[in-house]
Structure 1
């Protein structure tokens, strides 16, 4: 669970016995007879710790099989290779996505990082069709955002589920109108 530092600080200040307390009345500082206890908070998640944790689970070469879907909705059985590593001085998790077989030769590079100030992940993708996408996630599983490419601008929604160590299922969707969603890919990946 991520705790937003700003929310924690606001709660700590609002309920601080030195200021107003949770009832809104001015309270005296605690005496030695009645010592205040400080609530324990989870340590803040930093970009470095979040990226390190993600790299432990995801870094390496993955072999994926499943389907890539064309603009017409037709599925093409495909194999994909993912190469995941820390890059740019360990500030970003880099992924190279390469379709090895199948009708649609789609490739992209993605760059993912964690912003501790918003407790959100950010993902930036550039692809071999001249397209790009930016998406975000609060849990590292469901990613939502926008892309632009040969099909125009669209909303995107990707789900990445770690089934077990060394196994990830990936499901991607897109919408041209924000209401109707089409499948872009369905993959099962193993290290």
Structure 2
């Protein structure tokens, strides 16, 4: 192979190698085209998809001001034999869970039998209704809702769960006579609303 052929092959090989290399970005080499550094004085833009700050409904704080504290109650309640017995009780109500719920701790004695429950009540702005969850001694629990105070009274529609099964339960609250105290009574239906049986009634004062 003569010298010309060898030089020609080297030139062709170098040309192919150069073609295989990535091309230099002429724009990046230009200082005027380089990306600008962020301005330290300019605050970062808020994320458009961020969730708004969650705050408890004001209705909960208003309820806590009116109902918070310790209530002392007297009345009658149904014991395990399905008979009404004299009852004394205390109910302590306070704001819980960073202002999102009203916690109610109820302790009573019906005759010789103790009975306790803890309830959590909150307000749902979407439905404009109060929501309640209750757990009680004996393993029962209830959930339900109320439209709230109307003409000094509150009606609760609940579903109670116990060893007897699931059944409708209604709580009635009457605050129309402040001097006499707040009156409460509850009833359940063993036949899906056809008939109702009163299980307690009491009057409470702070």
Q: What TM-score, normalized to structure 2? A: 0.66
Distance 2:178 2:204 in 1: 11
Contact 1:64 1:187 in 2 (8 A): yes
Q: CA deviation at 1:48?
A: 2.3
Unaligned runs of 5+ in 2: 1-54
CA deviation after TM superposition for structure 1 residue 128, in Å: 1.1
- Structure 1 residue 47 displacement after superposition: 5.2
Distance 1:135 1:157 in 2: 9
The count of aligned residue pairs is 146
Q: Per residue, is there more helix in 1 or in 2?
A: 2
Matched with 1:16 is none
Query: Superposition pairs for residues 163-178 of structure 1, below 5 Å?
Result: 163-164=177-178, 167-177=181-191, 178=193
| 1:139 and 2:148 correspond | yes
- Tell me which residue corresponds to 1:114: 123
Is 1:183 matched with 2:192? no
Shift of 1:58: 0.6
SS at match of 1:164: coil
Which stretch has the larger CA shift, 137-146 or 96-105? 96-105
Residues 131 and 108 (structure 1), Cα distance of their counterparts in 2 relative to 1, 3 Å cut: same
Q: Which runs of 4+ in 1 moved over 4 A?
A: none
- Within 2, Cα distance between the matches of 1:175 and 1:101? 21
